[in-house]
Structure 1
Amino acid sequence: MVATIDLNADLGEGVGDDEAMLGVVTSANVACGFHAGSPILLARTCVQAHSRGVAIGAQVSYPDREGFGRRYMDIDTEDLRADIVYQIGALTALAMAAGTQIGYVKPHGALYNTIVSDEQQAAAVVAAVRSVDPRLAVMGLPQSLVLALARDAGLSTIAEAFADRGYRRDGTLVPRGEAGALLTDSAEIARRVVELVTTGTLTAVDGSRIDIDAKSICLHGDTPGAVGHAQATRAALLGAGINLAPVIRR
């Protein structure tokens, strides 16, 4: 049986080469303006993604443009829920104006990592998504609390892995700034992704082997050499006979 995997990237942030990345990925996590992006940039990103046949998801975040959404925020449940609803609504309208629709929601940065285990914030995100459109899927880390709560709420989920990030033995990401957090060699990144897709396992920073059941692979667009990493990964997957396709398209 031939494997199929989705390749996603965070786009519309005003950093990196979005046009080049759209030639590689099958899904685009488009920023919603809270951590990065402007209305015109997000609108153009939706148009470009749609013209390339790339699926679109809403990349929601804490309201933290100064910190690029990578700083933890202690937010009241109703405030966070309203923030998420607002962001999904904005990108939904921009996608519709571009002739397409969003199919999933992916939290960004610190919010993404927080809702791996924080029940209050994870529940707020799930409630927000479900209240806007219960057909939307939630993308997150395998075994994370947010995906469990999303499934309990009747939402579809997309478990993802990261091409250029290091993992701890518990399956969580090595925090940025720590040794092993970011991978920088395109060939090694591509090799690891093929290994992950074909075996469902990766080597953590401590040398242990961990199981990762992912339907989508994230290729960061804002890291040095990102386009080269992405192109090498796509080529390696196709060379291994692995099909590339979005998990959800609407």
Structure 2
Amino acid sequence: MNIDLNADLGEGFGPWRMSQDEALLELVSSANVACGFHAGDPLIMERTVRTASQRGIDIGAHVGFPDRQGFGRRVMQVEIEELCAMVIYQLGALSGVARATGGRMTHMSFHGALGNMAAADAALADPLLAAVARFDPKLIVSSSSSQAIEQAAARHGLTIATTFLADRAYDDQGLLVPRKLPDSVIKDEASVLARVRQLLREGTVTTYGGATIPMKARSILVHGDTPGAVELARTVRSEIEAAGGRIVPISRHLA
């Protein structure tokens, strides 16, 4: 069994750092790099991409709302045309940095509120995925489970890599529950590992309401800003390998 282990990285600004990117880049196989809107800046992007390239780690654009103060986790009302242009702008920034450092961008993902909105709304997912396809139809879309995003990707000829968010709770439709709810972010390491074991052994996840639903994930995500993220990523990696899995970057996994 091949599975990708990825993290959202580069989510600082100037001298401020959100996570231990260097340590996480020793453990993951794919990096989702902030593109300067919800977090990140040109220098952080360049350093993160260069390190990832040197280590053979897949590089992806982590695209969000232009909301550094809210870390991209607040809903913004933006016209579709402008929002699609913002997506393309961020993809172009990360792709350019990757090329300049001798690497290439293999995938993209939506961050925070933008990702949650697209996952729940087919009318929003379709133009956003169309924008991604116009930029590069070969990009892999890394996404939490979402029929809206999966169907839009299929319409526009894009490949989806469904990602299981190990430290986030799901509802009965397979969507992420809002962060404002208690225990929507799972901080207990034992609970996170139990969820990973269930995914690997049974291909299911237990929802916030207690139901069991199928989860066909090709990748597991650990949030870089989660407390104890490095140790959690290390333990999740060990759990995957103990189950007979191989940690393989998204692009090689789907090749």
Shorter-normalised TM range: over 0.9
Q: Tell me, what secondary structure is at the counterpart of 2:84?
A: helix
Report the Cα distance in structure 2 between the residues aligned to 1:248 and 1:148, rounded to whole angstroms.
20
> How many residues of Structure 1 are paired with residues of Structure 2 in the alignment?
248
1:30 aligns with 2:33: yes
State the distance in 1 between where 2:123 and 2:86 align: 15
SS of 2:250's equivalent in the other structure is coil
CA–CA separation in structure 2 for the residues paired with 1:182 and 1:85: 29
CA distance in 1 between partners of 2:125 and 2:174 (Å): 18
Indicate the SS of the match to 2:103. coil
How well do the aligned residues superpose, as a CA RMSD in angstroms? 1.4
For the 8 Å contact 2:140–2:158, the answer to whether it is kept is: yes
Q: 1:170 aligns with which of 159, 173, 176?
A: 173
- Using the TM superposition, give the Cα deviation of residue 206 of structure 1 relative to its aligned residue in structure 2, in angstroms: 2.0
1:8 to 3, 6, 9: 6
CA distance in 2 between partners of 1:130 and 1:227 (Å): 33
Partner secondary structure for residue 138 of structure 2: coil
Q: Does 1:243 align with 2:246?
A: yes
1:245 offset after TM fit, Å?
0.4
Q: What is the deviation of 1:128?
A: 1.4
Say if 1:139 and 1:147, in contact at 8 Å, map to a contact too: no
The DSSP-based 3-state class of the residue aligned with 1:115 is helix
For each residue in 1:171-228, what CA deviation from the matched residue of structure 2 results, as whole angstroms up to 9, or x when unmatched? 1112112122111222331232122022111111222111111111110010111111
Which residue does 1:76 correspond to in 2?
79
Q: Which moved more, 1:118-127 or 1:103-112?
A: 118-127
Aligned partner of 1:234 in structure 2 is: 237
SS at match of 1:57: strand
Match runs of 1:90-129 below 5 Å: 90-129=93-132
- Relative to the length of structure 2, the TM-score reads 0.93
Unaligned runs of 5+ in 1: none
In structure 2, C-alpha distance between the alignment counterparts of 1:115 and 1:43, rounded to whole Å: 28
Residue among 159, 163, 173 paired with 2:162: 159
Find the aligned partners of 2:144 and 2:240 in 1 and give their Cα distance.
21
Q: TM-score, normalised by structure 1?
A: 0.95
Identity of aligned residues (%): 44
Query: Of 170, 189, 194, which residue of structure 1 is paired with 2:192?
Result: 189
Which residue in the other structure is 1:216 paired with? 219
Matched, 1:205 2:208: yes
